[in-house]
């Protein structure tokens, strides 16, 4: 009767959400890069990579000092996903790298292991960020929140 009073749909159990946030923190401990995860129900009227890019800029992820932020985007009900890296990291790893990361995440998703697939993707992205943007205790700061962002 009053749909606006409904609780927001949870995509993950508390344990699964903790696994993903833990992966984000683990990845960021070793790099100056930043990783965010955005999950929503549907990706309407556009390609997943275009939606990821739109969200990337709306979350102001391009504001990192070294332009080395990465957004992992998932539309659960539409079964779409994308990984969008800012120009600093994209210029280092290239399109083939992102395609491989997405393929590996799809493999986990095909086993209905969404949280594990996302966490493994985040760790893999963290490895690439560590290789190209290693952690420096003198200059590093957490530029973006580590929590999962939930859309509609």
* Domain hosting residue 42, numbered range: 17-134+142-150
2 lies in some domain: no
Residues 133-152 have a mean pLDDT of 84
Q: Which residues lie closer than 8 Å to 57 by C-beta, 6 or more apart?
A: none
Global pTM value? 0.90
Would the pLDDT of 8 be above 60? no
Residues 39, 44: Cα–Cα separation, whole Å: 13
> pLDDT tens digits for 24-72?
999 999 999 999 999 999 988 889 999 999 999 999 999 999 999 999 9
> pLDDT tens digits for 103-125?
999 999 989 889 999 999 999 99
Residue 52 is part of a domain; what is its CATH number? 3.10.310.50
126 lies in some domain: yes
With bands split at pLDDT 50, 70 and 90, how would you rate the model's confidence at 9?
very low
How many domains does the structure of the chain reveal? 1
């Amino acid at each position: 009767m009053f749909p606006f009073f409904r609780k927001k749909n949870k995509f993950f159990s508390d344990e699964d959400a903790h696994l993903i946030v833990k992966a984000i923190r683990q990845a960021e401990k070793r790099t100056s890069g930043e990783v965010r995860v955005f999950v929503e129900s549907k990706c309407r009227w556009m390609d997943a990579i275009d939606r990821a890019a739109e969200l990337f800029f709306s979350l102001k992820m391009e504001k990192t000092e070294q332009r080395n932020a990465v957004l992992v985007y998932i539309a659960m009900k539409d079964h779409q996903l994308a990984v969008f890296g800012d120009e600093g990291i994209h210029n280092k790893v290239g399109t083939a790298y992102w395609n491989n990361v997405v393929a590996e995440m799809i493999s986990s998703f095909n086993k209905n292991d969404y949280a594990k697939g996302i966490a493994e993707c985040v760790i893999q992205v963290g490895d690439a960020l560590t290789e190209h943007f290693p952690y420096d205790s003198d200059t590093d700061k957490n530029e973006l929140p580590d929590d999962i962002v939930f859309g509609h």
